[in-house]
Chain A
Amino acid sequence: MIYDMLFYVFSILTISTSLMVVFANHPVKSALFLIFTFVNVAGLWMLAQSEFLSLALIFVYVGAVMTLLLFVVMMLNVPRSEKHDVKKSIYTSLNLVIGLIVVYILYSAAIIISQPVHIQSIESPTKAIGMVLYTDYALAFLITSIILLIGMIAAVSLCFEGRRSDSKSQIISEQLKANKASRLKFAPKKRNSK
């Protein structure tokens, strides 16, 4: 009973906030609604008894990706989108009709594919995922880590413009070229010093 109620609360919030992501008039608002959508979908996954993935969704997306997205949105100073004119609203309603048809098709396919079964609980889902991930899928896991490294290098090197000429920084090659003659010099001997 509580399970059903929680499911309906999470699903209604998910659908309404994802609609707000699409139709919000400012990118900051839609980014904040996207965070709320992720939290709600994490709740849904928690109800489907995949605790590890729902917590990973909150850590990875709400913690890292959405912070990055909000920083970029605030940095780029995106203007508010214009009022929807008539032609655009016609397109929007057409999209909605096509979307409802697709929802109906996917719904009937889901009904055909999935027979309602009782969700069985595994003893410790996180442990089970870890057992599979580090044995059967170890190669894919390593490749994922390499892809993450390559992506990080790519993102940094795309935005890096080279060293600025006026920035104060340590130039190691210049430091290593220094020898004793360039640092030390004899002071001239003063004549009347006693």
Chain B
Amino acid sequence: MIGIEHFVIIGCIVFVIGVIGIAVNKHNLISLLMSIELILLACNTNFVAFSKLHNSLVGEVFVFFVLGIAAIETAIGLAIMVLIFRQHKTIDSNKFSELKG
């Protein structure tokens, strides 16, 4: 019998894969954005699972809002990335270090 905890476990495995992705692909901005998408997806899976556990709709409504905000976050991130590429001709995050103290 598949219960709530199976969904929660899938959520935390995908979350950890996203965090590892941020650590592994830290030189590539696009891979960083995709790892953030994975993390948000894992959080949304947890929200869905726990809203089923408590038999309330609050978690699902929250997932709806998180989807909207994540979409606009990706759009603005990609716009900033296009600007960085125009300025530096690269998206390697080690190459642009003007803010280094």
Chain A CB within 10 Å — which of B2, B23, B83 has the most? B2
A30 surroundings in chain B (CB, below 8 A): 31, 34
B45 surroundings in chain A (CB, below 8 A): 41, 44-45
Number of B residues contacting the other chain (C-beta, 8 Å)? 67
Chain A 27-44 interface residues, beta-carbon cutoff 8 Å to B: 27, 30-31, 34, 37-38, 41, 44
Q: Can you show 30 pairs from A to B with CB atoms below 8 A apart?
A: A19-B17, A21-B35, A22-B18, A22-B24, A30-B34, A37-B38, A45-B45, A45-B48, A48-B48, A49-B52, A50-B48, A53-B48, A53-B64, A57-B67, A60-B67, A60-B68, A69-B30, A69-B74, A78-B30, A91-B24, A99-B17, A99-B20, A106-B16, A110-B9, A125-B60, A129-B60, A154-B76, A155-B72, A158-B83, A159-B79
B17 surroundings in chain A (CB, below 8 A): 15, 18-19, 21-22, 99
B5 surroundings in chain A (CB, below 8 A): 110-111, 114, 116
- Are B30 and A22 interface neighbours, CB within 8 A? no
Number of A residues contacting the other chain (C-beta, 8 Å)? 75
- Are A117 and B4 interface neighbours, CB within 8 A? yes
A residues touching B (Cβ–Cβ < 8 Å)?
3-4, 7, 11, 14-15, 18-19, 21-23, 27, 30-31, 34, 37-38, 41, 44-45, 47-50, 52-53, 56-57, 60-61, 64-65, 68-69, 72-73, 75-76, 78, 81, 91-92, 95-96, 99-100, 102-103, 106-107, 110-111, 113-114, 116-117, 119-120, 125, 128-129, 132-133, 137, 140, 144, 147-148, 151-152, 154-156, 158-159
B34 surroundings in chain A (CB, below 8 A): 21, 27, 30-31, 34, 69
B51 surroundings in chain A (CB, below 8 A): 50
